[in-house]
Amino acid sequence: MKNIWQEREKALENQYIFRQDREKIEQMRAETKEKLIRELCKDRCPKCGDEIEAMTFRGVPLDKCPGCGGVWLGPNDLRILASKDHRSWFDKWFKGENEAPETFE
Ligand SMILES: [Zn+2]
């Protein structure tokens, strides 16, 4: 005859292990998803998905999307650009001062 208390103890232990495994699987799934998203999005435009290209504008390295024309600046790049020309760097950018901006090869 089986000991009902031992069976109950074993069931609780199995339930605990099952929950732990489920938590680990969920954590691994979330980590894998995050890693995949980062890999797929690296150097891609967040708006249209095209591969962004490195370029320089007035000596400041930028990333530009050939698909939609979106431009990404590093944390200090906007400050550097603004300090180079207080009045019109925006105008020059939008009027195409550097029609064919130099790019990193
Ligand atoms: Zn784009």
Q: Which two tokens stand for residue 19?
A: 């929950």
54 alpha carbon – ligand 1 mean position (Å): 13
52 alpha carbon – ligand 1 mean position (Å): 7
User: Given this model, what pLDDT does residue 104 score?
Assistant: 47
44 alpha carbon – ligand 1 mean position (Å): 8
User: Given this model, what pLDDT does residue 105 score?
Assistant: 41
User: Given this model, what pLDDT does residue 91 score?
Assistant: 66
User: Given this model, what pLDDT does residue 83 score?
Assistant: 77
Which residues neighbour 67 within 8 Å (Cβ) at sequence distance 6 or greater?
45, 48, 49, 50
DSSP state of 26: H
Kindly report the pTM of this predicted structure. 0.56
68 alpha carbon – ligand 1 mean position (Å): 4
Q: Where are the domains of the chain?
A: 1-42, 44-105
pLDDT in tens, the chain (105 residues): 579 999 999 999 999 999 999 999 999 999 999 999 999 999 999 999 999 999 998 888 899 999 999 999 887 888 787 777 666 666 666 666 555 544 444
